[in-house]
Structures are given as structure tokens and as C-alpha cells.
Chains A and B, each alone.
Chain A
């Protein structure tokens, strides 16, 4: 069964770039649309964007100017970059698989907390 594991720094300085990687194990990177979803402390889920390994990404319009999602098939990984971060980007970041047959997110990583602070 497919499993996801996020990795990356837990602390990022304001105005810098947040970079996270998700490693896909137990399955093919071609099986899902790969997505990032975040959750600020005490708040709800926010979809950031997704992409299929061979396609173009779709992004949340509110974040589109600052984020990049990419897929590295050779490493079975996908990544997230968020530019010019502020305290508002402090959140638990989940890497998630969008099952296009179910039209739903059915595989979730455990989540990684990223704090933006100097």
C-alpha cells in the first residue's frame, strides 16, 4: 500500500523559501495526482495545489504566485516550494495523494509542522 512521508526544515525565516519533499513508497508515482494541503494551528484545511507526474500543476489561486509543486519520478518524490514566507505560512503541511478515480484525497502523509519565525 502506498505510503507518504514528508521531510524538510521545521523552521523557516520570514521572506525566505519553504521547501518540503514527500517520498512515495509502496506504489507507483504515476498512480495519483500529488498534492500539498496545509493546516494552520487551530484552523482548517487549505488545498495548495496538485499535479500529475506527466502534467502541469494546478494551484490554489490565492497561492499561485508564490508556490511551485514538482514531481521527480526518478526518486519517487514530489516537492513544494513556497516563496517569500510570512508568519501566515506557519502550518502543518501534508503531502497527499488525489485519487483521480475517486476524485478524493485517499492517501495522506503524517504531516510536518513548519514554523515561520526569525
Chain B
């Protein structure tokens, strides 16, 4: 299985919005609404931010939102804050009953 495709880096200024894309195939992202997103700060374990494409776990800010169109999922962060600077990973369930991650995107808050 091939890793999902994410941009290596994105950046934005405080208060702005950014979107991170995650492109897969009809066997993963496009075939299921089982896309999740994770935030990872340096030296820390990842944290679940979005599940089932667009749902937020309890405690996650509503500045984080997710969506999907075809084989591409997206994570949008609005009202950027300095604490949002981190690596972000998308993840999808696949038709082989396995799981695949994206390569990760480094978000820089300017």
C-alpha cells in the first residue's frame, strides 16, 4: 500500500486559515469516510484531531475542521495560533482492512 500524499509544508500567519490536503485512492480515502487527522508536536505522541472525515473528538477546538471530496481529504485550521505549529498526519482505513498514513505536513505559524 502506498502512503497518502500530503504537502511537505504549509505556513500561515496568526489569525489566518490554512488547509492541508491528503490524497489517496478509491481503495482508501475515496472508498470510505474513515479519514482521521493527527497533530504531533516535537518529541510528543500524536493526538487525534479529526475522525470520520469531519468529526472532532471532545476537547478539540472547533477551529479544526475536516472534509473530503473524491480521493482527497482536507484539514482546515482557522484562526491560526502559535500553538498550532506542529506536524499533521492524515490516515485512512483501506479496502484491505489495513490502515495507511500520509507522509505528514509541517505547519509553520509565521
Contact = CB atoms under 8 A, between A and B. Distances in A.
Given A58-B98, A111-B45, A105 B91 contact: yes
Contacts of B93: 103
B96 interface: yes
Contacts of A26: none
A46 B57 CA distance: 22
A80 to B, nearest CB: 15
Interface residues of A, number: 24
Interface string A10-54: 000000000000000000000000010100000011110010000
Contact of B1 (A60, A94, A110): A60
Given A44-B3, A44-B89, A45-B89, A102 B57 contact: yes
B52 A102 contact: yes
B103 interface: yes
Contacts of A44: 3, 89, 101-104
Nearest to B37: A104
Contacts of A46: 101
B64 interface: no
Given A46-B101, A110-B45, A103 B34 contact: yes
B38 A105 contact: yes
B81 to A, nearest CB: 23
Interface string A91-118: 0001000110011111011110000000
B99 A50 contact: yes
A99 B55 CA distance: 14
A105 B98 contact: no
A50 B1 CA distance: 16
Contacts of A106: 48, 51, 57
B36 interface: yes
A47 B36 contact: no
Given A44-B89, A103-B36, A103-B51, A61 B96 contact: yes
Contacts of A60: 1, 98
A111 B42 CA distance: 13
